[in-house]
Structure 1
């Protein structure tokens, strides 16, 4: 009988690029039960079998309408009761940002928040996303659903979550309004930042700029998260960020739970 669950979250910065750098070979060594990926930068006709059913994991995908942009995926070893693609029937569904797989009362969600760093217009889009995402997740909680939300949130929550916090106080990703939203979101929906629960004092990043020698000098940001409801988070027992090989400008987050989460939340 299965007594544990492993969930991996990874922004791939292009699924074809990550594959060429060995992501799926590495994934085959991990024994994951769920894998949430972001930034596919691919459409359905670009998806090879290796991308869709790697190592007995069945994938479900939300592609952006714009080619070579955004897109998310969610792989699971078990067959979901239901898969929901998209959440707002509008602007952000067109950008391919949300996949939810349901197993009994459990929802595992792969999500890719917009980045606001490229232009003021994109920062405004990011705020619009935040405005619609919180009530959507709150509605799931009101239905009694237990959640694991995995994704690139594009927000560093606290000073410990980025190397140069003083120099980024006015930059997208560390703006006071964004950080306040993340605090409000976690409080309103009752979510735990599972990595930070297990590693309260660790300076560990998940994304590094391609500029300069950011990765070599570990000048990074922790903007990729696994957020879980209390009934799930209390079973988290081990976590790591995999940095030995570089599949992307992000690093995968690995989280182990001391329970079969599907059985734990069975109706």
Structure 2
């Protein structure tokens, strides 16, 4: 009898707050030492032609980019040791697709969705845009699931889900990123059949992925957990670990990791 072949895949997601800025802080060395099977970056803040050559073509990786139309803003990148069967840079709704927030890469066993969800803190219009983006995204993922696909979803959600996910919940309940209406969407997303993988393994407080530069908040661990790896319920048994890499510097966010077995 033949055994079942198990392959472990290590994925990392990181909002780098500028790919050129993080590259000046040792990102390339970190990447080559860490050697993830897949690396998803958010907020690259660069057009493809502005990305340093060594990060445009990384040895051993296929690279996919979706910069925003606006220069120096938003943008996502995915690196993978396996070539994607297909890649897509939008969800098919024009007002969401020009900001460089979405990158889909299809592999044999799952679809990887790399996202930089909008920030709602710039006023009512942007909060409305953020919530509309959330809903459009949920429709999109549900359609993919209905077609029988497994999904790995990662990135900067720009919302902390529960009081455990933020250092100062009381002071921030009227601040975008922790408003009830934003958090309710995460509840809805999870009820619809998606899993916050980090909380499968870790139910401790003070586990954050973003700290404000302005207040040197990282030194005091006054942070927010804004970065996530989600999978659909049907794929949950493939997840073997989900973790935060809080010791990695270079951005106001730290990377997060996911290990899956196929």
Same fold (TM > 0.5): yes
Give the counterpart of 1:170 among 166, 171, 174: 174
Q: Say whether the 8 Å CA contact 2:40–2:78 is kept in structure 1.
A: yes
Whether the 8 Å CA contact 2:20–2:52 is kept in 1: the answer is no
Equivalent runs, 1:78-227 vs 2, <5 Å:
78-188=82-192, 190-227=193-230
CA RMSD of aligned residues (A): 1.5
SS at match of 1:149: strand
1:74 aligns with 2:87: no
Give the drift of 1:136.
0.9
TM-score (norm 2): 0.94
SS in 1 for 2:113: strand
Contact 1:10 1:252 in 2 (8 A): yes
Take 1:3 and 1:137, find their aligned partners in 2: how far apart are those partners?
Answer: 25
Counterpart CA distance in 2 for 1:70 and 1:30 is 24
Gaps in structure 2 of 5+ consecutive residues: none
- Look up the SS of the partner of 2:218 in the other structure: coil
Deviation beyond 3 Å, 4+ runs, structure 1: none
Alignment partners' CA distance in 2, 1:185 and 1:240 = 21
Match of 2:60 among 56, 60, 76: 56
Task: Tell whether the 8 Å contact from 1:74 to 1:109 is kept in structure 2 after alignment.
Answer: no
CA contact (8 A) 1:6 1:34 kept: yes
| Of 126-135 and 240-249, the range deviating more from structure 2 | 240-249
Tell me the alpha carbon deviations over residues 50-91 of structure 1, each in whole angstroms, 9 at most, x when there is no partner.
222324121101110100000011111101111111113311
Gaps of 5+ in 1: 261-267
Q: TM-score, normalised by structure 1?
A: 0.92
Match of 1:25 among 23, 29, 40: 29
Q: Distance in 2 between matches of 1:165 and 1:202?
A: 12
Moved more, 41-50 or 161-170: 41-50
Aligned length: 258
The answer to which of 199-208 and 74-83 deviates more is 199-208
